[in-house]
Each structure stands twice: as structure tokens, then as C-alpha cells.
Chains A and B, each alone.
Chain A
Amino acid sequence: MKLLTHNMLTSKCMKGVTVGYPLGINVSDVRVSEVDFNPEFVAKIIPKLDWPVLYNAAESIGQLEDLPKEVIDNFENDREFLKKVHHVLLEVDIINGELICPETGRKFPINNGIPNMLLNEDEI
């Protein structure tokens, strides 16, 4: 699972959960692999991100490298910055681990890169 996807997920659908965001992450296995860099795509996606959530998620799994704490001005034209964001969004892949609901502590396992967001019958 990529940190871009993590940025979009909540557990608000669970019974009794109001915000459910951001989900905590525990990792046991992270794979970093090179992915073709598409600066236009990254620039387009940055305004849609919850930046502090991305920053904290990257930090919590030890993949922060030198990602700035805040989005810089005029990021569309800063190739270096876009490359860093590209790396953290698309090149870091959580293969095994779990996502954690911030309100209930419910864990959603990630196996083989695929998070299992299925809830049990008594949780919906």
C-alpha cells in the first residue's frame, strides 16, 4: 500500500467512529522501488493531499528522508521537491503491516501490499 492511498483512507464507516482519520501505520515489511517520475501528476496531486498526514505517515515508517514539513511555494516548478514527493507517494510500498483506527484501535492488516478494510458484521 502506498502512502498516497493511506492519505485518502479513513475508518469513519465503523460503528461509533466519527472522524477515523488519519489511520495509524505499523509496518513489518516496506519495499522501496523505482517508479517512473511524472512531475505533472505529482504537482496535480499535491493540493489534494493532507500534507501533515503524509509527513507524519512517512516519518512513522522511517521513510521521511528530507521531505519538507510544509508544502513549499511554487512547488509546480521545483523538480527537486516534486521528486521527493514522488518518492514518498509512489515509490514507498508497505507490503506487510497494519493500519490502525485512531479512535477504536481496530487493526486492518496489510498482506502482500493489499490492505484488508473489511469490517466484521458487528462493526457496521
Chain B
Amino acid sequence: MCKSWKTYLLWFAQEHVEFRYAEIESLLSLFKIDMRYLEQPKNEPFWIVQFSSENDIKLLASRSVSLRNCLELWCHAKSIPQLHDKLKCFPRNLMEQHFKSNRSFKIEVETFCKHFTQAEKINKIEAFRAVSLTNPDVIFQYIEYYGTEANNPPELPYEVASGLRQLIKKISLKTRKFIGNTSMDPQLSLLMANQARIKDGAIVLDPFVGTGSLLVAAAQFGGFVLGTDIDYLMLHGRTKPSRIKQKVRDKNESIRSNMQQYNLEHRYLDVLVNDFAVPFWRDDIQFDAIITDPPYGIREATERVGTIKENYTVEEKHLSTHVPAKIEYGISNIYRDLLRFSAKHLKNRRPNEDYNENCLPSHPCLKLVANCEQGLSKVTSRRLLTFEKINHPTDEELRMTHNGIMDFREKYFIVREETRKERRTKEARIREENRLKYGKNQDK
């Protein structure tokens, strides 16, 4: 099947730049969208990419938090005369579908790293001899990008879809009912939920839940959320208030009330007071995602239940009111337990995958600097590996014979579940079904 690829401009918010690439890659993988990079993305707010369908972009933009909007890119150039020349060469039939007589349109002039007055902007529009209205069907954007260095191209694109930037304001900590001293920034929590590839109906756990910021983000994207925390007072909303003007916490401050505030209560499962060091989940429980911001021991203590006293027992008369003593958990123990727990309780997203970094060819004198995967079929892919020489080999290293790489042919035929014949028969059956379906439709 031949796809036609169109060029688009992705415009990102210039914030949390480091997270941008990871977020987009996660979403492309979540929605199984094909996107081509025309340029290797750098730390600039504009990416020029290609998609084969406008629906793909809408899907991507429907979840992305770092994306401001996405525009169909008609042309870009380093100077305004060049831009006008290029635009004149742009195929009219591709442009004209947006200029029907019954559709209004407007042109927005955006500039990056430079400010223009409204009059100057209007001059830039006038240069295209265009009309602008206040309530258009189609929005065109004309962007002048002065970058961090002022030598980057202006663009003229048509707006296809906007990202989810408004969500950051919607779940702002300023207006949230229940917050704590270390509540996670909304934008970062949304990025985390996206990187966890949370889908509608996913079961999501935060084992160091605190005030539940990450659960808000996870539920926003369709996750059903569970949280645990060792801090009884925190989960019951009875710690000291975090807002400077607030003397006492409201009676109903809780993670549940936050979920109510954002109309997400139907995705709230439960929160529990629990010491993460002491697991109490059924062994075979699997979560679709675990997202968490564990304590570092600075603003929130890293503690677990325990005592340094030997053979200590709680006396019968104190049992009903006893508050368990805590000892240092230790950040390295937290991470060890967290990874072990995740390995056990996360749902396996790629069953049968037998790839890991350790099975790549390696040599002590060569450093792997890039590893890019190209999918070949449902079960196989190949990788472009780029090595950089970092040391000259010793005699011993030159004589190395160890190589743990399994023969590809052997693996290939083990992994394939169905034979060639089975697959062909199946494909023929599907074709036949489609033919019958198609034939019926024609009869109507």
C-alpha cells in the first residue's frame, strides 16, 4: 500500500525540553503511529516531520502535553522574498481546498524570540494579500522564528491540531483542593503519565502516592488509579497545610476529593496506608503501569516500619493506640525494592521479546553511541549500531573469542508461531471474507 506523506510543523512549548522527545516517542508507540523526521530534532521548539494521515496528528496532539500545535507546513525559507517565491510554487490544488468561498479564514502572525506590533504584523499579512476575520474556519499561521540564534526559517503553515497545553492549567496546583509540600508539578505529572503510555482502562499504581498528583494525571488519560503511602496523616489529609495562608486543612481534603474536583472520581480505585517494604498485594496481580516519585530523604523522609530494639514487642494494653516506630529505609533500598516490585507486578507489554542491550555485539574498545531499530515484521527488526573506538585493544583483547550472540536464523524460526502455509491460508481467508463483505455492500 502506498501512503502519501505530508510535511507538518510540530510546535512545542519551550519548557521541559528534555522530556519532549521521550513523550512524543512514547505516544507514537502507544498509538502505533508512523512519523518521519525530516530533521533530527534538537532543542528547538519546531520540528519538521511527516505524517501519512491527518488523523495520526490529531491522535498524537490529543495526548501530547509538550506540543503546542501542529501545522501543515506549506513552505519555509530564510528570508521573506524567498518565502513568497516558494509559496507561489506550492501546488495550488493542495492549497485551494482550504480557500473555498463558503469558508472563512484568518492568518495569525507568530514570532519567536522577537516581538512585533500589531501594525507590523498586519503588514506581514498584507504582503500575502489576504483577509483576516475574527471567527474563521481555517487558521493559517505565519511564523517568524528568530531562535536562540537569529538565522532560522519563517514558516507558513495551516493549523491541523493543538496539543493539550490547556490541561496544565486545568490541573494546576494553585487551584487544586489537596496538595502537599512535594506535590508534583502538573506538566511533569502529565508527561510522566504519557511516558508510561497509559491507555483507557489501564490499572495504574503509585506506591509512594503522597497527595496523588501522579494519579490525577494518570486518571486524566483514562487510568484507573491505586496509591499507597506510609504516611497515615497525609492520606487522611491531616498533615500541616502547605499553603502559606491556610491555617488548618479542610475536613474533606484527600486524594479522592482531588479526583472529584476534576470529575475523575469514576477512575479512582483506592488509596491505602502501607509500608512499601512490606508487600501485601496478591502475587499474581499485574499493573499496567507504575508511576511514582519516591522520597529522596530531603523534603520527605525515607522511612519504613521497624525498630532497632531487639526482641521488641508491643504491649497488649498499648495495641489499640500504638503507632509503629520507623527506621531509615534508605534510598538504595527503596530503588531496589521498587525495581523488584515492578519486575514482578508489571504487565508484560511485549511478550516473547528476547532483545536486550546485553545481546548486542560488543567490544571493550568500542563504545555503542547509537542504536536505532527498524521494524521488519511483527516479530523481527534490525538495528543500526554505531560504535566509536575509545581505546586501542591490548593483545589480550585482540584474542577475545567470547561472543554470546545466538544465530539469527535459528531464533527466527523458533519465534515464528505459524508456518508459511498457515499464514497464507489465513490471509486468503481474510481476502475472501472482505470480498464477500464488499460484494454485499454493492448489492445494497
A121 and B306 within 8 A (CB): yes
One of A4-12, A63-71, A75-83 at the interface: A4-12
Contact with B along A1-35 (1 / 0, CB 8 A): 11011011111110000000100000000000001
Q: B252 to chain A: closest CB distance in Å?
A: 10
Of B201, B228, B280, B325, which contacts A41 at CB under 8 A?
A: B201
Closest A-chain residue to B285, C-beta based? A8
Q: Which residues of A contact B307 (CB under 8 A)?
A: 121
- Identify the interface centre among B274, B275, B285, B319: most chain A CB within 10 Å of its CB: B274
Q: Which residues of A contact B230 (CB under 8 A)?
A: 118
A9 and B278 within 8 A (CB): no
CA distance A117 to B232 in the complex (A): 10
Q: Which residues of A contact B228 (CB under 8 A)?
A: 117
CA distance A45 to B228 in the complex (A): 20
Contacts A114-B271, A124-B306 known; A36 to B280 CB distance under 8 Å?
no
Of B269, B270, B280, which contacts A10 at CB under 8 A?
A: B280
CA distance A36 to B272 in the complex (A): 23
Q: A61 to chain B: closest CB distance in Å?
A: 15
Closest A-chain residue to B311, C-beta based? A122
CA distance A122 to B228 in the complex (A): 21
B322 and A9 within 8 A (CB): no
CA distance A50 to B271 in the complex (A): 20
How big is chain A's contact interface, by range? 35 or more
- Identify the interface centre among A45, A111, A120: most chain B CB within 10 Å of its CB: A120
**Total contacts A to B, CB within 8 angstroms?**
97
Q: B337 to chain A: closest CB distance in Å?
A: 12
Of A1, A21, A45, A116, which contacts B282 at CB under 8 A?
A: A21
B273 and A119 within 8 A (CB): no
CA distance A13 to B276 in the complex (A): 11
Q: A19 to chain B: closest CB distance in Å?
A: 10
A120 and B322 within 8 A (CB): yes
Contacts A112-B236, A122-B313, A122-B314 known; A9 to B273 CB distance under 8 Å?
no
Closest B-chain residue to A113, C-beta based? B256
Contact with B along A33-44 (1 / 0, CB 8 A): 001101011001
Closest B-chain residue to A117, C-beta based? B274
Q: A51 to chain B: closest CB distance in Å?
A: 13
Of B200, B272, B273, B314, which contacts A120 at CB under 8 A?
A: B314
Q: Which residues of B contact A38 (CB under 8 A)?
A: 201, 266
Measured CB to CB, the residues of B under 8 A from A are 200-201, 203, 224, 226, 228, 230, 232, 235-236, 254, 256, 265-266, 269-275, 278-282, 285-286, 305-307, 309, 312-314, 319, 322, 324-325
> Which 9 A/B pairs are nearest by Cβ-Cβ distance?
A36-B266, A41-B201, A121-B307, A5-B270, A117-B274, A116-B273, A13-B278, A122-B313, A35-B266
Measured CB to CB, the residues of A under 8 A from B are 1-2, 4-5, 7-13, 21, 35-36, 38, 40-41, 44-45, 48, 50, 90, 111-122, 124
